[in-house]
């Protein structure tokens, strides 16, 4: 069902003109060059996903703590454990969270997909 609205307005030059639009009819409204009301709610693009996602994840205190711990474990004089004991859990947590964020953002782009 679509509503048709006719509206009389004054242009920049002071003359009246009519505007025709139909609610929920994008094809009809595109004929007159009206802008659409599309809203972008996704956070990432292909180019900025990895840096922006890592930036957001390292703002969490636990992830930042493990990153500092990893840097300290790379110094052999003060480390009692191997570096990979911190790298593996950190990479697993960052990967799982990154995949979840990517799926959530992809659902916003493709509305037919179910959300997590």
Measuring CA to CA, which residue among 46, 9, 5, 52 is closest to residue 29? 5
Span 12-55, pLDDT tens digits? 566 666 766 677 777 887 787 777 766 667 788 889 999 999 99
Span 70-111, pLDDT tens digits? 999 988 898 888 888 889 999 999 999 999 999 888 887 776
| CA dihedral (74, 78, 83, 88) positive or negative | negative
User: Does 2 have pLDDT greater than 50?
Assistant: no
Long-range (24+ apart) CB contacts under 8 A made by 101-104 are: 101/43, 101/44, 101/53, 101/56, 102/44, 102/49, 102/53
pLDDT of residue 67: 93
pLDDT of residue 94: 96
Q: Is the pTM of this model over 0.75?
A: no
pLDDT of residue 17: 66
């Amino acid at each position: 069902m679509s509503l048709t609205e006719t509206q009389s307005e004054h242009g920049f030059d002071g003359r009246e003109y009519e505007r025709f639009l139909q609610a929920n009819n994008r094809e009809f409204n595109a004929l007159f060059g009206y802008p659409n009301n599309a809203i972008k709610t996704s956070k990432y693009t292909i180019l900025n996903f990895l840096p922006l996602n890592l930036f957001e994840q390292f703002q969490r205190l636990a992830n930042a703590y493990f990153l500092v711990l990893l840097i300290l474990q790379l110094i052999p004089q003060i480390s009692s454990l191997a570096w990979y004991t911190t790298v593996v859990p950190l990479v697993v947590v960052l990967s799982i969270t990154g995949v979840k964020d990517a799926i959530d953002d992809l659902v916003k782009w493709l509305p037919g997909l179910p959300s997590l």
